[in-house]
Amino acid sequence: MAKSLILANGNIQVGLNQNGLVSDFFFPYVGSKNHVRGLTHKIGVWQDGSLSWLDSGDWNIEINLCKDTFVGIMKCFHKKTNLELIFKNIVYNEKNIFLRQVEVINHTDNIIDVKIFFHQTFSVYDMPQVGTAYYDPIRNTLIHYEGKTVFVVCAESSAIPFDEYSIGLFGVEGWEGSYKDAEDGHLSKNPIEHGRVDSTLSVSVNLHKKEHKFVYYWVTVGETKNEAFELHDYVKYRTPAPFIESTSKFWKAWLTRQDYLQCSITEDSQMTLFKKSLFYIRGNIDNRGAIIASGDSDMLQHGRDTYSYMWPRDGALTVMALLMVGEENISKHFFKFCNDVIEPDGYLMHKYRSDRALGSSWHPFIKDGKPILPIQEDETALVLVSLWEYYQKTKDIEFIEAHYNDVVKKMATFMVNFIDKSTGLPLPSYDLWEEKHGTSTFTSAAVYAGLIAASKFAKLLGKDGDEELFISTANSIKESILKYLYNDEIKMFVKNINTANGEIIYDNTIDMSSIYAIYNYGILPIDDKRIIDSIKTIEEKLRLNTGIDGVPRYVNDNYFRSVEDVPNPWYITTLWLAQYYIHAATKAEDLDVVKYWLNWTVTHSPLSGVLSEQLHPYTGEQLSANPLTWSHAEYVRTVMLYHYRLESFGICEVYNNTKN
């Protein structure tokens, strides 16, 4: 079940599913150590002698972000009783606190008694079979703990604490969980359990006709019991309500300090999604530099693992989007992360955990009986490309100088040496889609751009020998790309090549990334006939002409495919096509197609604005990981490029929102 919302503060991330229920809770790193993975917290309402859980189908549920802030709002309306619950959900920006404000509204003319049940279970360290939960009568809280992770749970209404609780077991000895104890409207107050444990508490609310009251629920988390209790005491001292306002104001201030664009012809829906995208991107970034692909644990990649890792490529592309809106601090932490994990020979591995540990991988170290590097070389190259963009924005020469030898020179030297002498192209590595081993057009163009960036750093710092080496190698790669990787018969740059027995074997699969890399990384000018012809090929042979429209990654892509012989469109590749039309525009009217694709993205996003990886080609249902950081980054980048182009035509001004 894809996420409808994520909330985070750079240390914890909470993911809510389509019913607004907690289904992910990362701590102490965003993306690492998910303490709810595979489980779901429940919320139920007892009224008129029956219990209704929010995921029962009895509720109409609408989930969104409050305007211009990273505060989640849920409107839940019971279809039969006319009871309404309006949740405001936050992860407090300053401390590790997850808090819900629930406005309970009686729309009837009767006096009603309501009980709100909050259920929680924590798979601490991804080990649901290990843990302890107990009731603390001194602070009137529920505690879940294992090792160096302690959760404190509490709820109240009108400063009156929860009145019932139960600690239970699930999945062992025939027990289903403490939430079953709530089905008669009462909890048994069982005080402690260990093993596969869960807990439930309830808050009672009496409502007169047309009356509304507030219930507050919060979870604090720390590495020790004292740390978690200190946060709980802090909530009690301040009272819960101010945390909502404080968090809202912080995120509004964070948003308005960004350099983003506005113009009279921009549709409100486009800018609304743009702002939400900035929040979701920030929500997938750990304070120590990791930019994870997605915290959506419900989506198991290849059925074995999640997207809760940092791919250096995704991180670099996200940094480039953030730099366009003036977000420099996050970028700096990302580069420090890369500095810490770079291999001695100058390359980056497949992916990493947020705590800098090596991530899982399916890339073998051997092929055809010979050792190979299990890498995607574009991930190394694009870090240099993004680092140059960071310097252009910040002019932070001291940071660059400090990392020149350890990062810039080391990476560039690796790329110089990782060359096929027979073709002049980069040696084979895995492509950006992590599927094919070979020399791909995308990777080759990225390596060219990475070496160009490295040569500029060398020139900046007076490293004449390095500059000459890097730029000459880059130019040689560019010549080889044009010599070997364009197929005039199919009017397209090829997906990749391999060599066998001295002969080149071509993979002519039409892939959007191939042409994107050519115009995005400066291999050819945008008006070159080979680019124009390749885009025509994309429009004719890859773009979907049935269903919802959009652009798949490549012809016959079967990853997460749900319709036979019809690949799924991706937000990323569709927005890449829009970016081509931005670069190619010579007059304002040429940008109408870009406006179409921006509106297409808005149309195929839910109210909350989360963008997944893929879409069903006919229904538009979101598929795969959600929200995907890369999808949001490409949307932000496309909007910014669109506005820059409008500005170049004298139609739209760029301005810093803090000036207004």
For residue 525, is pLDDT > 50? yes
Note the pLDDT of residue 171.
Answer: 78
**What DSSP character marks residue 569?**
P
Question: What SS3 string covers 1-18?
Answer: CCCCEEEECCCCEEEECC
For tokens 């209404």, name the residue: 157
What separation in angstroms does the CA of 268 have from each of 228, 274, 520, 599? 41, 10, 28, 11
Q: What is the mean pLDDT of residues 8-20?
A: 96
More confident residue, 453 or 159: 453
Distance CA 248, CA 242 (A): 10
For residue 128, is pLDDT > 90? no
Q: Are 448 and 520 in contact (CB under 8 A)?
A: no
Note the pLDDT of residue 2.
Answer: 62
Confidence of residue 303 (pLDDT cuts 50, 70, 90): low
Long-range contacts of 190-194, Cβ-Cβ distance < 8 Å, separation of 24 or more: 190/166, 191/134, 191/135, 191/167, 192/132, 192/133, 192/134, 192/135, 192/167, 193/132, 193/133, 193/134, 193/167, 193/168, 193/169, 194/131, 194/132, 194/133
Confidence of residue 130 (pLDDT cuts 50, 70, 90): confident
Distance CA 591, CA 599 (A): 13
Note the pLDDT of residue 657.
Answer: 40
Q: What is the mean pLDDT of residues 412-441?
A: 97
For tokens 């399916």, name the residue: 362
The amino acid occupying position 524 is L
Q: Are 73 and 86 in contact (CB under 8 A)?
A: yes
Chain-centre distance of CA 548, in angstroms?
23
Chain-centre distance of CA 429, in angstroms?
25
**What DSSP character marks residue 355?**
T
Note the pLDDT of residue 126.
Answer: 58
Note the pLDDT of residue 652.
Answer: 76
Spans of all domains in the chain: 5-255, 257-285+542-660, 287-487+498-514
Q: Are 317 and 327 in contact (CB under 8 A)?
A: no
CA dihedral 52, 55, 57, 61 (to 10 degrees): 100
Distance CA 276, CA 512 (A): 26
Residue-wise pLDDT for 281-295, tens only, equals 999 999 999 999 999
For residue 127, is pLDDT > 70? no
What residues are paired with 59 via a beta bridge?
78
DSSP 3-state of 378: helix
Q: Are 544 and 617 in contact (CB under 8 A)?
A: yes
Q: Are 412 and 450 in contact (CB under 8 A)?
A: yes
CATH for the 287-487+498-514 domain, from 1.10.20.10, 1.50.10.10, 3.40.50.10610, 3.40.50.300: 1.50.10.10
Confidence of residue 301 (pLDDT cuts 50, 70, 90): very low
Distance CA 275, CA 279 (A): 7
For residue 576, is pLDDT > 90? yes
Distance CA 93, CA 6 (A): 13
What radius of gyration, in Å, describes the C-alpha atoms of the chain? Answer: 26
Q: Are 358 and 352 in contact (CB under 8 A)?
A: yes
For residue 656, is pLDDT > 50? no
Q: Are 223 and 151 in contact (CB under 8 A)?
A: no
Q: What is the mean pLDDT of residues 452-464?
A: 98
Angle at 313 between CA 312 and CA 318, to 5 degrees: 95
Note the pLDDT of residue 288.
Answer: 96
Q: Are 259 and 656 in contact (CB under 8 A)?
A: yes
Nearest to 70 by CA among 124, 16, 129: 16
Note the pLDDT of residue 304.
Answer: 64
The strand pair at 429-430 and 437-440 is best described as antiparallel
- Looking at domain 5-255, which CATH architecture does it have? Distorted Sandwich (2.70)
Distance CA 400, CA 420 (A): 30
For residue 188, is pLDDT > 90? yes
Q: What is the mean pLDDT of residues 19-39?
A: 92
What separation in angstroms does the CA of 615 have from each of 2, 179, 510, 577, 606? 12, 35, 20, 16, 12
Chain-centre distance of CA 373, in angstroms?
27
Note the pLDDT of residue 165.
Answer: 97
Confidence of residue 261 (pLDDT cuts 50, 70, 90): low
Note the pLDDT of residue 659.
Answer: 35
Residue 527 burial by Cβ neighbours in a 10 Å radius (0-12, 13-18, 19+)? exposed
Note the pLDDT of residue 650.
Answer: 87
Note the pLDDT of residue 653.
Answer: 61
* Average pLDDT over all residues of the chain: 93
Choose the weakest-confidence range: 27-36, 297-306, 490-499. 297-306
Residues whose CB is less than 8 angstroms from the CB of residue 191 and which lie 6 or more positions away in sequence, other chains included: 134, 135, 167
Confidence of residue 214 (pLDDT cuts 50, 70, 90): very high
Task: Read off the tokens for 328.
Answer: 């420099």
Note the pLDDT of residue 256.
Answer: 87
DSSP 3-state of 449: helix
Q: What is the mean pLDDT of residues 507-515?
A: 98
